Amino acid sequence: MSYEFQITRCVEFSETDLAGIMHFSNFFRFMESAEHAFWRSLGFSVAGSRNGVELCLPRVHAECDYMAPLRFEDEVLVRLLVEQKGRRSLTYQFRFSRLNGPSPQEVARGRLTVACVERQADGAFKAVPLPEAIADKIQQAPARLLVNGRPLGKTPVALGSKRQRPLLQPSRPLPSLTTQLSTAG
């Protein structure tokens, strides 16, 4: 049975934004790549019916907290851990570590929950138990390996800061959309 998987990725130029850092949405793509590779390592695919198993795995929750930026050509280790194995769902934790540099640096943490569903004739989804062939190969990671510090979903703080403050704080209040529209015309 398996509860952990790791892949290494290199940040491509097309994955960066105008500030020269990896766009936040690409962390979710990296999570999905790790999840798909995890399933392939077990002999399965997340795509429809393969290997005699019919299922759909829509995402029902996704989150990511960022602690440091990634840049073009950074080498990134993406570690997947099975946080929770439910009867009809799986929750994964992800840890992103920059590998180039004097020592690995954790740059982000993510979480993804997928539901196991079956598509009905009318197109609706119905939650169903994980097929036994899959459930037998996946187990929940030991608690000692899971994130046990700051819970995911909390506001990250500036690294090296003496006082707890959000990473990004507007220097002045942001104007509302109504204010922007009324001054534009």
List active site positions: 17
Distance from C-alpha of 174 to C-alpha of 151, rounded to nearest angstrom: 28
Distance from C-alpha of 167 to C-alpha of 158, rounded to nearest angstrom: 5
Q: Give the residues across from 95 on adjacent strands.
A: 79, 109
Cβ–Cβ under 8 Å, residues 147 and 63: no
Cβ–Cβ under 8 Å, residues 145 and 81: yes
